Amino acid sequence: MQAKTHSGLETVINVGTGYFIAMALNLFFLPHYAEGIVEQSIWVAAWIGITYTGISMVRSYLFRRLFTHLSESEK
């Protein structure tokens, strides 16, 4: 069984790298799709990325714990 702290660390590393990818994509795509709607700056991209990352971390952690629980139940 994977410890809860290991699940959390895995989630932080996994989603943390996704944050930087999301931020780079925001900086690239927002100017093309949200022209005039969203202020185009690194800070806007960063806050959008932080929001997505936070949601992704919670989702990833919950799924990890769910599947760990299910695999333990099968034994």
Q: What is the pLDDT of residue 2?
A: 67
Q: 53: Cβ–Cβ under 8 A, 6 or more apart, which residues?
A: 15, 16, 18, 19, 22
Name the CA radius of gyration of the chain, rounded: 16
Q: What is the pLDDT of residue 38?
A: 58
Confidence of residue 57 (pLDDT cuts 50, 70, 90): confident
Residue 74 or residue 50, greater confidence? 50
Confidence of residue 1 (pLDDT cuts 50, 70, 90): low
Q: Where are the domains of the chain?
A: 4-73
